[in-house]
Chains A and B, each alone.
Chain A
Amino acid sequence: MSLIKYESPIREPLVDGKKTYGQVTEDICHTIEAKPGRLWYIGFSISVAFLLFGVYSVYREVVYGIGQWNVNRTINWGWDITNFVWWVGIGHAGTLISAILLLFRQGWRTGVNRAAEAMTIFAVMCAGQFPIFHMGRVWVAFFTLPYPNTRGPLWPNYNSPLMWDVFAISTYFTVSLLFWYSGLIPDLATVRDRAKTKFRKYFYGITAFGWTGSTKHWQRHESLSLVLAGLSTPLVLSVHTIVSFDFATSVIPGWHTTIFPPYFVAGAIFSGFAMVQTLMLVSRKVMNLQDYITLGHIEAMNKVIVLTGSIVGIAYLTELFMAWYSMVRYEQDIFFKYRIAGAYGWSYWLMMTCNVISPQLFWFRKLRRNVLFTFIMSIVVNIGMWFERFVIIVTSLYRDYLPSSWSVYYRPTIWEVGFYIGTFGLFFTCYFLFSKYFPVIAIAEIKHVLKTTGESFKNDMVALDSMDTEKFYHETHHDDHHEGTVTVTHH
């Protein structure tokens, strides 16, 4: 095994500037050790205010019942389930970056994976609230768990997609949390070992679990990360697949389609990357991390956005085609009378514009590397993806099989909207605390790739490039036969 990992000099550096290991630590720990700026306090206060409004909205719903919302017998899944699917979808990008891109050996993930994984966890926390409070009688939410009860025991219905959801979301949350935290341990130890204040020594001492950086521990840590990535990859695909089963296994026109699992997963990654962009573009500016989250990272994520956005676009068109091709009256009516036209036609076209048409601008390199444009697009995409879920849920429901049950218009109440605002509060409160108290970039992982992909080390690769194969092998592979080890001499 050679210790030099060859990196083409043509590839953009992943870490800009002349950095040493010590400088990397300094740059990333700086935000933890400095007092937060005024912007942080303003943002944090707004988030907490939103959260409190959400808590009050939920309080109303729990005390007075589901009638606090405007969902009705026809449109029984309104904003609530829309928000649920939207938040779960956002979570998917974090796992995609941390797990799937790890397996694909995409070096650029190291700059963004920590914050993206944190985003996953916070988004899943927000998502989980919606189905739980949608139950109405939230105090019996534990009925979903298979425990020996006094009602028989009557077991939950394992054949039900809603039951699968309980398992999928809770597993997803647990595994994401473990993956994120196991990656955090060495970095928390870094913060601990340079801590000056009593609080930091105490807090990071506890959270770093006594990590020392032992070679054996690193070896196990690498193995753990790889297996957790391997487990998370099918897991993340399964989660949104199962969420789509909530719809696809029903017999509601517009939901009853086999295309849903891949379509939902692509949409989830699409919206998740948009949210990562929103957070990263602000974080890198405020925390001065432009050397670690470079324009190259932003461009890479924009490429994922244009790819998944196009997959979603094809799924929309396929749905329309299949509705026509199926020759089922109900399917055809839902799509051609009530979805692309009718009372909610505006939401369909808003979705089409935001998700399919506008991301196509990312085919231009200039726009992919434009920070302001990316920021605006990231918000446009998330609005579009919220409307996608709204379109799927509401336009399929508002025309029931019985014309007498047709619901002409559904408008959320302030408490329904408040619940959604509250989850924004929860999400951003968590994110603000995370960005203040935790290393937002995986320090150890950056150090690991620094000498191959850092800007100042790229020159070494030019020297390697000019060697022929014989010479390269001779220079870099000094087999030490007595020890069975391989070492490198550097020139």
Chain B
Amino acid sequence: MAVKKFVVGCFEDEKVLFPAVSKVRKAGYKIHDIYTPFPVHGLDHAMGLRETSLHTAGFIFGLTGTTTAVSFMTWSFTKDWPVNIGGKPNFALPAWIPITFELTVLMAAVGMVLTFCYLCQLAPFIKKHHFHARATDDLFVMVIECTAKTNEDEVKNFLGQAGAQEINTQIAEDGWWIGTYDKQQKLYKDQVIA
């Protein structure tokens, strides 16, 4: 989490956005992020992001569920308190399949959603800087991070040539903080770490 300076360019059409992304990257600018109103397929590849391994986490959570269910039922029915239920075997694996399955699904789903929220830093009362209010409506908002060496105007011109409509500079916190959205968005202007 740090306060940084960003150049923001808004695109109205994904068909303009894609060539712009590759131009910006070729020119060597660092794309902080692109905010889009819906998942634009292929944009992650165009930006050079690596694949998410969230599904692997889901698999591990699922396996945890399976093992928890089987081992707990085995322990409680064969070791802790073996009850004679109509003379049936205490270790009744076929009859435990439903619960094992449900617990696998439950743990995989809950674990994955929590991991997702943790990775994307999503939770109630979390507040973040939004570069443009229409990023969740109909604009594709490209945010370029400025370093000490970046020439702001050059980046702005570059974005304009690439087809961005609205271009501006923002100094903002790039992480999250606790807050609600009915309060005015706080922009940190005093300390710039670049």
Contact = CB atoms under 8 A, between A and B. Distances in A.
Interface of A: 1, 3, 20-22, 25, 146, 152-155, 157-159, 161, 163-164, 167-168, 170-171, 174-175, 178-179, 182, 185-186, 189-190, 192-195, 198-199, 201-202, 204-207, 209-224, 226-228, 231, 234-235, 238, 242, 245, 443-445, 447-448, 480, 482-490
A205 B181 contact: yes
B2 interface: no
11 contacts: A20-B138, A146-B72, A155-B81, A158-B95, A158-B99, A179-B109, A206-B124, A210-B123, A213-B36, A485-B22, A486-B45
Given A159-B92, A190-B137, A483-B22, A182 B99 contact: no
Contacts of A155: 76-77, 80-81, 83
B103 interface: yes
Given A152-B81, A174-B106, A224-B112, A210 B25 contact: no
A118 to B, nearest CB: 17
A94 B77 CA distance: 36
A105 B72 CA distance: 38
Nearest to B49: A216
Contacts of A179: 109
A238 B101 contact: yes
Nearest to A157: B85
B55 A198 contact: no
Contact of B38 (A444, A484, A485): A444
Given A25-B138, A212-B130, 17 more contacts: A25-B137, A163-B99, A167-B102, A175-B106, A193-B133, A214-B34, A224-B112, A231-B58, A231-B105, A238-B101, A242-B98, A447-B138, A483-B25, A483-B26, A484-B48, A485-B21, A487-B18
Contacts of B182: 198-199, 201-202, 205
A215 B44 contact: yes
Interface in B17-62: 18-19, 21-22, 25-26, 33-49, 51-52, 54-55, 58, 62
A487 to B, nearest CB: 4
A362 to B, nearest CB: 33
Nearest to A176: B109
Nearest to A204: B181
Nearest to A161: B98
B126 A210 contact: yes
Nearest to A156: B76
A238 B97 CA distance: 11
B116 A224 contact: yes
A213 B109 contact: no
Given A159-B85, A164-B98, A209-B123, A487 B181 contact: no
Contacts of B38: 21, 186, 218, 443-445, 447-448
Given A215-B47, A227-B55, A487-B18, A1 B42 contact: yes
A170 to B, nearest CB: 8
B88 interface: yes
A182 B113 CA distance: 8
A231 B54 CA distance: 14
A213 B26 contact: no
Given A155-B80, A185-B122, A211-B122, A205 B44 contact: no
- Residue picked from B39, B122, B130, B180, most chain A C-beta under 10 Å: B39
Contact of B113 (A178, A199, A211, A487): A178
Nearest to A155: B76
B33 A215 contact: yes
Interface in B77-132: 77, 80-81, 83, 85, 88, 92, 95-96, 98-99, 101-103, 105-106, 108-110, 112-113, 116-117, 119-128, 130
Contacts of B188: none
A228 B116 CA distance: 12
B112 A227 contact: yes
- Residue picked from B14, B120, B121, B141, most chain A C-beta under 10 Å: B120
Contact of B112 (A152, A167, A228, A486): A228
A223 B35 contact: no
B136 interface: yes
A164 B103 CA distance: 11
Given A201-B182, A215-B47, A487 B19 contact: yes
A213 B42 contact: no
Nearest to B134: A193
A215 B133 contact: no
Contact of B117 (A146, A159, A170, A209): A209
Contacts of B135: 193, 212-213
Contacts of A163: 99
Given A21-B37, A213-B36, A167 B128 contact: no
A487 B96 CA distance: 51
A152 B73 CA distance: 15
B15 interface: yes
A234 B92 CA distance: 22
Contacts of A220: 52, 54, 116, 119-120
B105 A153 contact: no
Contact of A215 (B43, B55, B72, B105): B43
A326 to B, nearest CB: 24
Interface string B164-179: 0000000000001000
B124 A178 contact: no
A333 to B, nearest CB: 27
Contacts of B37: 21, 25, 186, 190, 213, 443-444, 447
Nearest to B62: A231
